[in-house]
């Protein structure tokens, strides 16, 4: 089941697009026309968003049957059908763009996530997503990232402690920030940007470090200093070209904002055919 936040987003998306009614469909298509349709990949992709597809039709009504031929996380070939739907033609036409918008966006996220996950295979490193998500779509985009094979970082500001440079400045230093966060009952991670901060964080018992904006060579040197005393996450400008280098530097994690903030929508089509009329 989708989270209530996602259900609400689907309702908003339908209201935004349909408004007071689909005037084109109302003008051209009889209300008693039945139809079947299918979703088709127009490029290779990793599928995500099938729960949203079902929720879109459930929210609108008028659909008798939705068959998912593939599931989230599956690799879909160009030209492959992955879902079929039967219902009132008007409903299928009204829901077409909203369904495609979600599928294209979320499958785009999953496809990029898979690229990053494959790049670090064979190392101990795991790829993390971030909070750099589309407003209102965080849970859906993180579900898509997970379907693509990466690990979800914290969902928001409420489920883990991540002490960043601005928190350190406001708290008065690395030691003060760590001491204040100790005992909060949540996982604690701290960002360090200078070697003296690294040594200070380790001295005061940091168990999870975020090292930001280092080159792969610098990252390897800092990880050597850590020497297993804490888990190490690397972030900052990590791309498809550099992810493997950072993983081989010895990182436990690399976090990549591009998985959600820069993933291009993939090309998916919806094809419909009417097959008769039925008494309402």
Q: What is the pTM of this model?
A: 0.94
How is residue 43 annotated by DSSP? S
Domain that residue 185 falls in? 151-255
Active site residues: 97, 132, 164, 191, 212
Q: Is 123 contained in some domain?
A: no
Here the CATH number for the domain that contains residue 239 is 3.20.20.70
Q: Kindly report, residue by residue over 122-176, the tens digit of the pLDDT.
A: 999 999 999 999 999 999 999 999 999 999 999 999 999 999 999 999 999 999 9
Q: Are residues 169 and 273 in the same domain?
A: no
Q: Are residues 248 and 272 in the same domain?
A: no
Predicted confidence (pLDDT) at residue 4 exceeds the cutoff of 60: yes
Q: Are residues 250 and 268 in the same domain?
A: no
Q: Kindly report, residue by residue over 104-124, the tens digit of the pLDDT.
A: 999 999 999 999 999 999 999
pLDDT band at 183 (very low <50, low <70, confident <90, very high): confident
Q: Which pLDDT value is given to residue 280? A: 42
Q: Kindly report, residue by residue over 7-47, the tens digit of the pLDDT.
A: 999 999 999 999 999 999 999 999 999 999 999 999 999 99
Beta bridge partners of 211: 192, 234
Predicted confidence (pLDDT) at residue 251 exceeds the cutoff of 50: yes
Q: Is 129 contained in some domain?
A: no
Residues 6+ apart with CB under 8 A from 259: 109, 112, 113, 116, 127, 129, 130, 145, 148, 150
Here the CATH number for the domain that contains residue 17 is 3.90.1170.20
Q: Are residues 110 and 177 in the same domain?
A: no
Total structural domains within the chain: 2
Q: Is 137 contained in some domain?
A: no
CA dihedral angle for residue 106, residue 9, residue 139, residue 76, rounded to 10 degrees: -20
Q: Are residues 179 and 228 in the same domain?
A: yes
């Amino acid at each position: 089941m989708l989270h209530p936040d996602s259900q609400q987003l689907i309702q908003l998306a339908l209201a935004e697009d349909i408004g007071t009614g689909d005037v084109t469909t109302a003008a051209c298509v009889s209300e008693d026309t039945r139809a079947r349709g299918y979703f088709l990949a127009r490029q290779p992709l990793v599928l995500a968003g099938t729960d949203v597809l079902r929720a879109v039709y459930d929210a609108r009504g008028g659909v008798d049957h939705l068959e998912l031929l593939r599931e989230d996380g599956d690799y879909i070939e160009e030209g492959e059908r992955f879902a079929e739907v039967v219902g009132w033609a008007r409903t299928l036409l009204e829901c077409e763009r909203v369904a495609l918008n979600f599928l294209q966006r979320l499958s785009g996220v999953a496809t990029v996530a898979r690229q990053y996950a494959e790049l670090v295979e064979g190392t101990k490193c795991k790829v993390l997503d971030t909070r750099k998500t589309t407003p209102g779509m965080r849970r859906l985009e993180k579900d898509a990232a997970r379907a693509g094979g990466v690990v979800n970082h914290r969902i928001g500001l409420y489920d883990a402690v991540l002490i960043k440079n601005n928190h350190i400045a406001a708290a008065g230093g690395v030691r003060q920030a760590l001491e204040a966060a100790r005992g909060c009952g949540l996982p604690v991670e701290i960002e360090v940007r200078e070697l003296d901060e690294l040594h200070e964080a380790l001295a005061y018992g940091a168990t999870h470090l975020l090292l930001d904006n280092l080159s792969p060579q610098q990252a390897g040197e800092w990880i050597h200093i850590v020497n297993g005393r804490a888990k190490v996450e690397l972030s900052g400008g990590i791309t498809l070209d550099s992810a493997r280098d950072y993983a081989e530097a010895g990182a436990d994690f690399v976090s990549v904002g591009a998985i959600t903030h820069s993933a291009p929508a993939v090309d998916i089509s919806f094809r419909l055919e009417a097959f008769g009329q039925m008494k309402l």
